[in-house]
Amino acid sequence: MKWDSSFAIGIEAIDNQHQQIFEHLLAIENSVAKRDPWHIQRFFVTQMSDYMKFHLAVEEALMEIIRYPEYAGHCASHAKLMDQIAELEKQLETAGSGRNPAGRQIPAESLVGFFEEWFVRHVLSRDREFAVYAKEEFPALLGRR
């Protein structure tokens, strides 16, 4: 799967961050497909996790500035994403200790599940709703394209 401009929500800074996360996820997927050792997979997961934290903080700050009415629900959804990342990290730690019967890597279905949750249910839905609101309320600031 490749990043496509149709995935854009219309706020350039946020779209660039989404694309970065998308690419971090592809790197993890690649690493799992190649059956890289767990510590290499962990390296990619950590990169994605750190970047995701940064991205969610940026969105939350922006929502606060524009007084987004769905702020609390959106933040709860962010918290759920971070919980899922923590779960991926835990699965990898288990793999690293050799206690994971499925093999020493992230289970592919966990990764697919996370991708669907983040990309399909969050970016293409909740983030898009917040972008619509932001552009309506702050057209001069955010509606530049």
Q: Which residues bind Fe ion (CB under 5 A)?
A: 59, 127
Instruction: Identify which of residues 107 and 126 has a Cβ nearer to Fe ion in the complex.
Output: 126
Structure tokens given for 59: 């969105």
* Min separation Cβ 101 and Fe ion, Å: 34
Least Cβ distance, residue 136 to Fe ion (angstroms): 17
Q: Kindly state the smallest distance separating residue 123's Cβ from Fe ion, in Å.
A: 5
Taking CB atoms, the residue at the shortest distance from Fe ion is 127
| 127 or 134: CB nearest Fe ion | 127
Which of 121/144 has CB closer to Fe ion? 121
83-87's contacts with Cβ under 8 Å and 24+ in sequence apart are 84/113, 84/114, 84/117, 84/118, 85/45, 85/48, 85/49, 85/52, 85/114
Closest CB 121 distance from Fe ion, rounded Å: 11
User: Which residue's CB is nearer to Fe ion, number 37 or number 73?
Assistant: 73
Cβ(5)–Cβ(19) below 8 Å: no
CB atoms within 10 A of CB 70: 13
Q: What minimum distance in Å lies between the beta carbon of 135 and Fe ion? A: 15
CA distance 132 to 140: 13
- Residue number with CB closer to Fe ion (8 or 127): 127
Q: What are phi and psi of 2, to 5 degrees?
A: -120, 150
